Chain A
Amino acid sequence: DQQVKQNSPSLSVQEGRISILNCDYTNSMFDYFLWYKKYPAEGPTFLISISSIKDKNEDGRFTVFLNKSAKHLSLHIVPSQPGDSAVYFCAASLTGNQFYFGTGTSLTVIP
């Protein structure tokens, strides 16, 4: 069961431009969402989160948008930097304990 979906397995963006990573979910009861970033041979690193009572959360170059009616969230990275090249996972939770992860989007930022 794919409760959290990331339909784009990969994305390439020029340095300095905006990267937009998308995530869709099926369970309307999810109330908390996170984005993780993962480099090869490392564990996922927490990036940014958003609660279902908000529609936007910003942290520096990273902004997460939540559209509950569409069951869609997105991560914007502006401006994109080569060091942002990694796999990005979105994750959602009902209980704040167990998270359901998407399959990831591999972002490549081209210098």
Chain B
Amino acid sequence: EPEVTQTPSHQVTQMGQEVILRCVPISNHLYFYWYRQILGQKVEFLVSFYNNEISEKSEIFDDQFSVERPDGSNFTLKIRSTKLEDSAMYFCASRVDRGRDGYTFGSGTRLTVV
């Protein structure tokens, strides 16, 4: 069964450093998403991406965050200057269209900012 692949599975970074979280969505999917889950809290929407541009973003997705689909297969989330409160599980997801199916999520990247 097709999968959404995320790398790395765990990333530890120092506060103030830049991190790039990588995702390979399912190949025929057109809509891409990043969500995050801070430990013990709910899964929160960050951003959606379609047709090479951001289609929606949440208040969490401020100027420190950016997304890119550099080569038609990878979908990346960059955090420019990490803060302690960015520590969370980051999930990438994709879907074929905005129809009535759910997303397919990746297994997540656990980001720990120290």
Which residues of chain A have a CB within 8 Å of any CB of chain B?
2, 4, 32, 34, 36, 41-47, 49, 51, 89, 91, 95-104
Q: Which of A44, A97, A103 is close to B105, meaning CB atoms less than 8 Å apart?
A: A44
Contact, CB under 8 Å: B58 / A98: yes
Contact, CB under 8 Å: B42 / A104: yes
Contact, CB under 8 Å: A99 / B45: yes
Number of A-B contacts (CB under 8 A): 59
Q: Which 5 A-B pairs have the closest CB atoms?
A: A46-B102, A43-B105, A101-B43, A103-B42, A96-B98
The answer to whether B104 has its CB under 8 Å from any CB of chain A is yes
Complex Cα gap A46–B100 (Å): 11
Complex Cα gap A4–B105 (Å): 20
Interface 0/1 of B88-114, CB less than 8 Å to A: 000101000011111111111000000
Q: Which of B6, B48, B99, B108 is close to A98, meaning CB atoms less than 8 Å apart?
A: B48
Contact, CB under 8 Å: A100 / B91: no
The answer to whether B31 has its CB under 8 Å from any CB of chain A is yes
Interface 0/1 of B60-101, CB less than 8 Å to A: 000000000000000000000000000000010100001111
Contact, CB under 8 Å: A34 / B107: no
Which residue of chain A has its CB nearest to the CB of B4? A43
- Chain B nearest CB from A107 CB (Å) reads 17
| Residue with the highest number of chain B CB atoms closer than 10 Å, among A2, A36, A43, A98 | A43
The answer to whether B56 has its CB under 8 Å from any CB of chain A is yes
Q: Which of A32, A44, A47 is close to B43, meaning CB atoms less than 8 Å apart?
A: A44
Q: Which of A36, A49, A91 is close to B100, meaning CB atoms less than 8 Å apart?
A: A49
Complex Cα gap A103–B38 (Å): 11
Interfacial chain A residues near B18, Cβ < 8 Å: none
Contact, CB under 8 Å: B107 / A98: no
Complex Cα gap A45–B4 (Å): 11
Interfacial chain B residues near A49, Cβ < 8 Å: 100-102
Which residue of chain A has its CB nearest to the CB of B50? A97
